[in-house]
Amino acid sequence: MISRALKPAEVHTSDALTELARFFAITKESAQMCPMFSSYIDQAWHTLICTPDSYAQFSREACGQILGHHESLGEGQIPWVSDYEARFGKLSPLWFADAGGTVDQTAYAAYCATGEVFHSWDCTPATDDDDD
């Protein structure tokens, strides 16, 4: 059981960027689609994209190439979670935070209990070939 809720004051953009870098690394290594399901981490991604030189450096350091941001609506099981866990351990509660930084404790508890994530998404990383 989750002992306390993370509040917006307890989540930080730097932590979101750490998670985004991990997501990029998993994306590069994965043969499957890697939907971005976290509104909070996606917001950090959008902010970073607004400074192209910084974004290019961040992306290259995270995964060796520049990943774009591709609109892709969907929902279901997030397929890359086990790959993430094998490399980095359990997902951070940040993955379950809304754009304002409030963690959905119910969704996070379900993930902690099952190791699976079922969620909606509205984007995925894109290569130069399919970038929007």
pLDDT digits (tens, 9 = 90+) for 12-64: 778 999 999 999 999 999 888 899 999 999 999 999 999 999 999 999 999 99
Q: Which of 88, 128, 90 is nearest to 111 (CA)?
A: 90
Residue 84 included in any domain? yes
Is-contact 33 78, C-beta < 8 A? no
Residue 89 included in any domain? yes
Asked whether residue 130 carries a pLDDT value surpassing 70, the answer given is: no
Residue 132 included in any domain? no
Domain span at 41:
11-126
Residue 1 included in any domain? no
Alpha carbon separation from 100 to 54, 81, 97 (Å, rounded): 23, 23, 7
Number of domains in the chain: 1
What is the DSSP secondary structure assignment for residue 31, as one 8-state letter?
A: S
Residue 4 included in any domain? no
Residue 75 included in any domain? yes
pLDDT at 3: 41
pLDDT at 1: 41
pLDDT at 131: 42
Stretch 124-132: mean pLDDT:
66
Mean predicted lDDT score pLDDT of the chain: 89
Residue 97 included in any domain? yes
